[in-house]
Structure 1
């Protein structure tokens, strides 16, 4: 082996050693900060979640809660990586499985909520939903018009009023028109 080959071998070993040292340093640093980062982001997520739940503070809490909960994924992954062997042992035990089952069971009802009738969204959408789903007999007095007047106006606009007990959405469907066409006609509340 020539001196040149020997020098290249030493340089390669030195480069590999430097990469290993750098890797160990990065790994050591990540290990050192994984748990404190999880704890810090969890506390921020907890506080922002409570502020959202109790409607304390402004809209900033929602952004804080959503984005920092996403950022929490990174330290959580580091924590799993750092503690993989103990975690595997821990996940074989009943308490963690019971906790997962309980958490899943407590989460399921939120997916079963009828979002169409749930509160939320712009107020004008909630108002429009009430207008299109209530019967004309209920709707007309709220608009300051007699039900008979509303029926005459809708007939005049080309809507089929053979079933006046239907809500406006049903009347539009019966007339082969959309609810949008009914609202564009502006005949219900027009003087």
Structure 2
């Protein structure tokens, strides 16, 4: 085990820290979040194993930090920064898009049409153009999607897409 720790703990920690840093910076700047989000989460979790192996391998040297007062101030600042972020951003319910999708998919065509800057009839045409059956403008997207055996979020994304709609004009966000 010691041989494994000597050979791989520090290189794995360094490599995964690099990957986590690059993906974290990409996420911070909203650059290709679909590609980086899962990678960042999973590989940051994987980083914990080599980190603990590295810590185990270097435990005696690590204990020296506790004898030095300079360790406690940066450690305390790190913990306080984490608490400040949790108190100001973490408790508000997460991703707003995840909260708004159910609101939109439970709305009727009559209620949604103004959000798309179209009449209920134009929105109905857009939905039927996407291959869904609409019986009235009082139906919700969830009801329409259920009848088509599809997810209501998929229908919402279909009508929000920039593809051609009836009348030949692309939908603008």
TM-score, scaled to structure 2: 0.53
Over the residues paired in the alignment, what is the CA RMSD in angstroms? 2.9
Alpha-carbon offset, residue 58 of structure 1: 4.0
What's 2:36 paired with? 61
Alpha-carbon offset, residue 110 of structure 1: 2.2
Work out which of the two has the higher radius of gyration on C-alpha atoms and give 1 or 2.
1
Deviations 1:33-74 (A, max 9, x none): 111111100000000011111110141211111111111111
Alpha-carbon offset, residue 120 of structure 1: 4.2
Q: Is the 8 A contact 1:34 1:76 kept in 2?
A: yes
Alpha-carbon offset, residue 127 of structure 1: 5.7
What's 1:31 paired with? 6
Alpha-carbon offset, residue 103 of structure 1: 0.7
Q: What is the rounded CA distance, in whole Å, between the counterparts of 1:117 and 1:82 in structure 2?
A: 37
Q: Is the 8 A contact 2:13 2:47 kept in 1?
A: yes
Alpha-carbon offset, residue 75 of structure 1: 0.9
Runs of 5+ in structure 1 lacking a partner? 1-25, 132-138, 144-191
What's 2:81 paired with? 106
Alpha-carbon offset, residue 91 of structure 1: 2.3
- Alignment equivalent of 2:92, drawn from 115, 132, 155: 115
- Alignment equivalent of 1:83, drawn from 51, 58, 70: 58
- Alignment equivalent of 1:50, drawn from 18, 25, 32: 25
User: How many aligned residue pairs are there?
Assistant: 109
Decide whether aligned partners of structure 1 residues 43 and 117 sit closer, same or farther in structure 2, where only a CA change above 3 A counts: closer
Secondary structure of the corresponding residue to residue 72 of structure 1: helix
Q: What is the rounded CA distance, in whole Å, between the counterparts of 1:117 and 1:57 in structure 2?
A: 19
Q: Is the 8 A contact 1:41 1:69 kept in 2?
A: yes
Give yes or no for the alignment of 1:96 onto 2:106: no
TM-score, scaled to structure 1: 0.49
Q: What is the rounded CA distance, in whole Å, between the counterparts of 1:92 and 1:62 in structure 2?
A: 38
